[in-house]
């Protein structure tokens, strides 16, 4: 079968032949790959800044955002049948007995760093025609979501963040005391700013809107543009950094209760951190490339963190709970804003077009490789 592989040493990305995988254990399932999304991480790997082939190999099969259909199950598989649609989890546990996170099925919180990630770190990914994997890493998705289900994995970033926001903000009176009954259904209790309007930012904005946040999306491009249209379709506000600086953004929003960073631009993030509001929470999801150090006003940041009870955290996806929340929320998004969700898809391409798209994603929101 054909797969798309990255060769970091010789800096190459190409379609190669692999043997079709077969079941080798009773708890495995075989999947036909239906769709694979391309994200910023894939593009980083394909510009050779990130990603590691499996031990002893020169190449890594790429692709971690996958929708598959079960075509064969091992004799001990209990929860899946032929024809089921599934999304595989990406990260797999480290082998160490003392890693409480991995030993509890929470490899997204792995302590040792010896986890592997399919298509990213030391384990082949999904960008081929068939995949064999363990039942316990599969998440079943309803057929109704077939058309958009490839977004489940990137949406888990926001869902895992929301789960943690809930835990973190439970330290204070956070739920609005004025019920929506009195304020009208559209009353939005908290104000969130999303940095970046790529797929992670836009999916994050959808999740925040669905959770009742008044939401602003701050991104470079001037409006009108396709991303700004999606932002207004979900009832959020698009603000371009080309025409509005961070101070003006902060004045526009008022008390910023939450910042969801989804670009991996650290200088912008720390500038916005200065404007985080009282009792605010700031979430980092981006992975910036290492550039030269910059200056930040640490006294101001530290004063604010203390005097305004702020919390700052980073998050990498994701546990089963976030995958399940992601499937539920995608259903909600499709009820509320089907056009906006579909507008996230820029191109659907065949496998042979993947190497070029992996190297140049200009102008795209979400590109997807599909076989049917």
Binding site for Zn ion (CB under 5 A): 39, 41
Q: Which residue is nearest to Zn ion (CB)?
A: 39
- Residue 29 pairs in a beta bridge with 73, 133
- Number of residues that make up the chain: 372
Per-residue binder mask for ligand BGC (CB under 6 A), 23-62, x = binder:
----------------x-x---------------------
Q: Would you call 194 helix, strand, or coil by DSSP?
A: strand
Subset of 62-81 contacting ligand BGC (CB under 6 A) = 64
Among 61, 73, 86, 117, binds ligand BGC (CB under 6 A): 117
Q: How many residues bind ligand BGC (CB under 6 A)?
A: 10
Within 258-297, the residues that bind ligand BGC by CB under 6 A are: none
Q: How far is CA 252 from CA 193, 206, 207, 228, 249, in A?
A: 11, 20, 21, 17, 5
Neighbours of 313 (CB within 10 A): 12
Q: Which of 360, 286, 350, 280 is nearest to 312 (CA)?
A: 280
Report the alpha-carbon distance of residue 223 to residue 53 in Å, rounded: 40
For the bound state, the minimum distance from the C-beta of residue 347 to ligand BGC, rounded and expressed in Å, comes to 19
Provide φ and ψ at 355, rounded to 5°: -55, -40
Binding mask 313-332 for ligand BGC (x = CB under 6 A): ---xx---------------
Residue 177 CB, shortest distance to ligand BGC, in Å, is 37
Shortest CB 358 distance to Zn ion, Å: 12
* Alpha helices per DSSP H over 308-344: 320-336, 338-342
- Nearest to ligand BGC of 151, 211 (CB atom): 151
Residue 120 vs 351, nearer CB to ligand BGC? 120
Q: Is 90 in the site for ligand BGC (CB under 6 A)?
A: yes
**C-alpha–C-alpha distance, residues 31 and 189, integer Å:** 43
């Amino acid at each position: 079968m054909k797969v798309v592989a990255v060769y970091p040493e010789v800096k190459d990305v190409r379609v190669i032949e692999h043997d079709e995988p077969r079941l080798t254990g009773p708890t495995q399932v075989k999947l036909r790959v239906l769709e694979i999304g391309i994200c910023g991480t894939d593009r980083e790997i394909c510009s050779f800044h990130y990603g590691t082939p499996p031990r002893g190999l020169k190449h890594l099969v790429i692709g971690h955002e996958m929708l598959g259909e079960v075509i064969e199950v091992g004799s001990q598989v209990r929860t899946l049948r032929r024809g089921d649609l599934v999304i595989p989890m990406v990260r797999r546990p480290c082998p160490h007995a003392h890693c409480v996170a991995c030993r509890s099925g929470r490899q997204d919180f792995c302590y040792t760093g010896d986890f592997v990630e399919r298509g990213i770190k030391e384990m082949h990914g999904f960008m081929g025609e068939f995949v064999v994997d363990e039942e316990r890493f599969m998440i079943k998705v309803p057929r109704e979501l077939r058309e958009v289900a490839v977004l489940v994995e990137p949406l888990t970033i926001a869902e895992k963040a929301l789960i943690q926001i809930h835990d973190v903000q439970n330290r204070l009176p956070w739920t609005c005391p004025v019920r929506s009954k009195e304020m009208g259904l559209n009353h939005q209790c908290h104000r969130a700013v999303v940095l970046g309007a790529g797929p992670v930012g836009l999916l994050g904005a959808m999740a925040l809107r669905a959770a009742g946040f008044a939401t602003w999306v701050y991104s470079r491009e001037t409006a009108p543009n396709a991303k700004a249209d999606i932002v207004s379709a979900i009832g959020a506000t698009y603000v371009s950094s080309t025409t509005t600086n961070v101070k003006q953004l902060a004045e526009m929003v008022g008390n910023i209760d939450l910042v969801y960073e989804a670009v991996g631009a650290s200088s912008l993030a720390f500038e916005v951190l200065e404007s985080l509001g009282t009792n605010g929470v700031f979430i980092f999801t981006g992975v910036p490339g290492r550039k030269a150090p910059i200056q930040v006003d640490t006294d101001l940041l530290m004063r604010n963190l203390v005097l305004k009870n702020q919390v700052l955290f980073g998050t990498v996806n994701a546990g089963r709970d976030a995958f399940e929340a992601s499937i539920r929320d995608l259903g909600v998004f499709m009820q509320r804003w089907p056009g906006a969700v579909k507008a996230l898809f820029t191109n659907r391409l065949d496998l042979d077009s993947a190497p070029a798209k992996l190297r140049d994603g200009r102008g795209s929101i979400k590109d997807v490789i599909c076989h049917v």
